[in-house]
């Protein structure tokens, strides 16, 4: 299923030969940015409000960076994945054996930074109720406890369906991977301390909110988050101004672990394991 999704998305991108490139023209542009909201409603996979399960604890991380694999505008609730207007598809590679998102070529941005800027003409004219974004990478600060001392650390979280990673660093800590890693791979380092670790969250444990699960499902293991525009985005093809779309992501207790000691403190040294790093909802908004 993972391979089929990546192949399908790759085929769609051929229709948009410049979908992963920014272009400089005088025509109106489509601009996409991210915003992180710890107060936005916390949703489950079906797009319904969700509480923290018994025996688990969670925290709202402080985001540094994010990246995405795929962006699609969907006209209505019955639009199947890939049948809307696809405006972005990140580079992929087979260096790891199977088709995977190429992290070395991923565009990683901070909050408010432009993630995508392309001619607005690449978004088909029409009315759009929904937006889908396949998230692939997160980097954020979390609080942990180690030997009864509280620290702050940085987590690199790979939530794409399949990720090829050569190497990366967190501060002075280097992680050589040189292979594919599935959704849920993570690496962590305590800030300004000689401690780092990496691991893998359980398969299919990453929350991916999709309020359209009954009419327009997504493959298991993907991270295609779906959100509804508060008011429909209408593209006529005669726009004179840029359209700026902000992807408001819920990070409300989005970092979740299974507790050994019930104190609300993440303490990996006593066996408390990460179980979920999924974004908890998407509300796309726009300014024309």
**Strand partners of residue 88:** 71
Express as a percent the part of the chain with pLDDT over 70: 91
- Integer Rg of the chain from CA: 19
pLDDT attached to residue 193: 85
Vertex 197: Cα angle to 165 and 105 (nearest 5): 20
pTM: 0.89
The neighbour count for residue 140, using CB atoms within 10 Å, is 21
pLDDT attached to residue 16: 42
Mean pLDDT across the chain: 91
Q: What is the pLDDT of residues 1-32, one digit of tens each?
A: 444 455 444 544 444 444 444 444 589 999 99
182-196: b or e for each residue (b if 16 or more CB lie within 10 Å)? bbbbbbbbbeeeeeb
44-71: b or e for each residue (b if 16 or more CB lie within 10 Å)? bbebeebeeeeebbbbbbebbebbbbbb
User: CA–CA separation, 273 vs 256, rounded Å?
Assistant: 9
Mean pLDDT of 62-83: 98
**Strand partners of residue 30:** 118, 243
pLDDT attached to residue 250: 98
Q: What is the pLDDT of residues 225-257, one digit of tens each?
A: 999 999 999 999 999 999 999 999 999 999 999
Which tokens go with 65? 């960076």
pLDDT attached to residue 43: 98
């Amino acid at each position: 299923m993972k391979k089929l999704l990546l192949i399908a998305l790759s085929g769609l991108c051929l229709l948009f030969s410049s979908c992963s490139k920014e272009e400089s023209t005088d025509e109106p542009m489509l601009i996409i940015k991210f915003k992180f909201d710890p107060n936005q409603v916390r949703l489950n996979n079906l797009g319904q409000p969700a509480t923290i399960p018994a025996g688990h604890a969670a925290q709202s991380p402080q985001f540094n960076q994010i990246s995405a694999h795929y962006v699609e505008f969907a006209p209505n609730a019955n639009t199947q994945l890939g049948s809307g207007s696809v405006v972005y598809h990140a580079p992929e590679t087979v260096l790891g054996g199977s088709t995977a998102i190429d992290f070395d070529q991923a565009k990683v941005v901070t909050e408010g930074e432009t993630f995508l800027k392309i001619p607005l003409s690449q978004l088909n004219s029409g009315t759009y109720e929904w937006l889908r974004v396949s998230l692939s990478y997160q980097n954020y600060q979390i609080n942990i406890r180690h030997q009864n001392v509280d620290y702050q650390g940085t987590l690199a979280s790979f939530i794409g369906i399949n990720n090829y990673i050569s190497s990366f660093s967190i501060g002075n800590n280097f992680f050589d991977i040189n292979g594919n890693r599935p959704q849920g791979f993570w690496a962590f380092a305590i800030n300004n301390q000689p401690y780092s670790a990496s691991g893998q969250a359980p398969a299919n444990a990453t929350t991916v909110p999709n309020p359209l699960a009954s009419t327009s499902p997504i493959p298991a293991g993907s991270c295609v988050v779906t959100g509804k525009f508060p008011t429909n985005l209408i593209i006529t093809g005669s726009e004179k101004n840029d359209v700026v779309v902000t992807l408001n992501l819920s990070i409300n207790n989005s970092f979740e672990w299974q507790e050994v000691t019930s104190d609300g403190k993440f303490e990996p040294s006593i066996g408390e394991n990460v179980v979920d790093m999924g974004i908890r909802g998407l509300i796309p908004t726009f300014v024309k």
